[in-house]
Structure 1
C-alpha cells in the first residue's frame, strides 16, 4: 500500500537504520540504501518501485527458508520483493496508516547483524 507520506516513512526507516553502528546511507539504483561502513547493504527503502504500489523497506534474512516463514506468518506485513527476493531478502510494508515501527526496527537491526563485519559484532554489535 502506498504511503500517504512516503517522506515520513523514509524518515522513520532512516532513523532506525542510521542508529545502528557504522551505518551509512547511499543511493543505490535510485533508492535510499543503508550499508555498514564500506561493506554490505542491510536495508533499502522503496516507494512504488517499478510501479509495484508498495512503500516498503527491504531487509536481509538468513535465506529463503526464513523469508518464506516470515511471509507465511504475516503476509500483510511481509512479501517477496522483486530483484532482491531470490537472494532471500524480504520486504516489509511501511505504507499503511500505522506501521509497527518497533517490529520494523527490530528486523532492520537483525539485517544489520547479518551484514556487519565480525569486528563490529565482537565489539558488542548493536
Structure 2
C-alpha cells in the first residue's frame, strides 16, 4: 500500500488547486477554506490523518466500508467530518474527497463557474 499513499504535502497541493481556496490556521491546525468555510484540515497531533468535510450519510458508508481508511473522532461526529488515513488513500481518491468537500462548502455560483470551466476544458 506504501506506493499508493498521500503525503501531507500532496494533500495540501490538491486542496490549494481548487478555486478560491485559502489556507489559514485554526485551533493549532492547518485549515483550507473556500470563502472562509473550512473544508479540510490537518492536525499535527494526528499526523497520520486529515479531516475532510463529508455528507453525514456518506460518512457512515465510508467508515463501514473501509474502517482502516476512514474514521471519526467524537468531535467529528458533531459535524460533517471524517478522518482520512493518509497512507491508506491514493491521490485520485483524495482529490475526489477534497473536491466533494469543497463543493459542500463553496457558494453555488462558484461551484457552477468551476463546473462550466471544467466542461470547456473537456471540449
Unpaired runs of 5+ residues, structure 2, are 1-5, 119-123
So what's the TM-score if we normalise by structure 2?
0.80
* The 10-residue stretch of structure 1 (98-107 or 28-37) with the greater mean CA deviation from structure 2: 98-107
Equivalent in the alignment of 2:11: 13
Check the 8 A contact 1:58/1:81 in 2, yes or no: no
Aligned to 2:44: 47
Question: How far, CA to CA, are the matches of 1:67 and 1:80 in structure 2?
Answer: 9
Q: Partner of 2:3 in structure 1? A: none
How far the C-alpha of 1:88 sits from its partner, in A, is 2.5
User: 1:79 is matched with which residue: 46, 58, 71?
Assistant: 71
Q: CA RMSD in A?
A: 1.9
Q: Please give the per-residue CA displacement for 1:94-125, whole angstroms capped at 9, x wherever unaligned.
A: 1x3x6412111210110000000112012134
Which segments of 5 or more consecutive residues in structure 1 lack a partner in the other structure? 1-7
The structure that has the greater radius of gyration is 2
Match of 2:18, SS state, is: coil
- After superposing on structure 2, the runs of 4+ consecutive aligned residues of structure 1 that deviate more than 4 Å are none
> Pairwise mapping of residues 22-61 of structure 1 onto structure 2 (< 5 A)?
22-37=20-35, 39-49=36-46, 55-61=48-54
User: SS of the residue aligned with 1:27?
Assistant: coil
Tell me the CA shift for residue 46 of structure 1: 2.1
Counting helix residues as a fraction of each chain, which structure ranks higher? 2
The counterpart of 1:88, out of the listed 80, 94, 112, is 80
Aligned residues of 1:47 and 1:56 also touching (Cα < 8 A) = no
